[in-house]
Structure 1
């Protein structure tokens, strides 16, 4: 597996796939929390479709995920920003003239919080079911998934042990939870000049749909597409087809 080294010396696992034609464009795919660069398989299928239209792709594992260095307990938003920045540097060094970015779920947090320098390098941005309000997703969760893992009992236990478990399995540390109070992705998303497309299922029980919709309406450069009846992750075949087709259309526009 290929490796990129971040500024804080973390080895990040990645997969760089070239299209069948010579091109100067690449799409970076940033996955969500608890998963890896495949995003449950949908990123692999999406990358293949992107390659078919003549755009290279780069998938990677954030630190503490997949085959990258680090434990999940040590992951932080600041660390994920360093990971994504290192991926941008890699693409820059190759000489790509156009960089597109697709972020799913929690991947939208590090995307939104990228340094201004990298935001200006993004030519098109696509967000799937994005986490844009950390308070409403984790600290005072509005939806069932968040309430199950982020509640009074789990926070009290975290204060004792330093750990909190998402879905009872994926261990995160107090440092990440503390960051939930400090970062505001919905505000930092406004720093992108590139055309943005947000796709969100209106039956999402993980990440608030209305937050993403409201955020899109505050941005002049953003279009919002509702995936009717879809849960988080676009699990139904028809949902995935709609998301993939919309993503391809945005990249080709």
Structure 2
């Protein structure tokens, strides 16, 4: 019986993953032990790095790519890849520098912070674009309406009623309307008499109202009242 090719590929991937995980786990353990983390603590460091990678992978799988997930993925990758390179003979594990001891000692707090942010920070999803309004593919057919018959206008024009005449308002006769009496000072009347007498001596005619008004310098209604008293 022939084994399917897909099963062979899957088994090969799993074997490769087990080998890579075991080697990376051992390198992280050796580096942590060389940095002063002995006993069970040296075994806890590889687990911490791998768990952070698993948390990043789960965040990328469920919520999609994000800056937070990629940032912590690079941090975990540098920790794992750095341990592999450091244990390849480029670093004297019997004399680990102080800065590396500080990084190894501070890794648990950094890994805890990354796991907390990945677990409790909501993902920033871009708003989905609104669906464009598409026309109805099957519009309802228009029903043709028969034209309504147009009624012919009546040739005889309708009689337009004559406008009603507005009765005229009664107009008062100006001859019957007496002007209101204007009080005239007696001194002004005496002065007007002198002016009228002087005018009659010089011209031989009686003074008219306009000339009297001009000589006295009074308004027209007051000149009329003075002229009425001189008559």
- TM-score, normalisation: structure 2: 0.22
Q: Counting helix residues as a fraction of each chain, which structure ranks higher? A: 2
Higher relative contact order (CA 8 A, sep 6+): 1
Task: Give the greater-gyration-radius structure (CA).
Answer: 2
- TM-score, normalisation: structure 1: 0.20
Q: Counting strand residues as a fraction of each chain, which structure ranks higher? A: 1
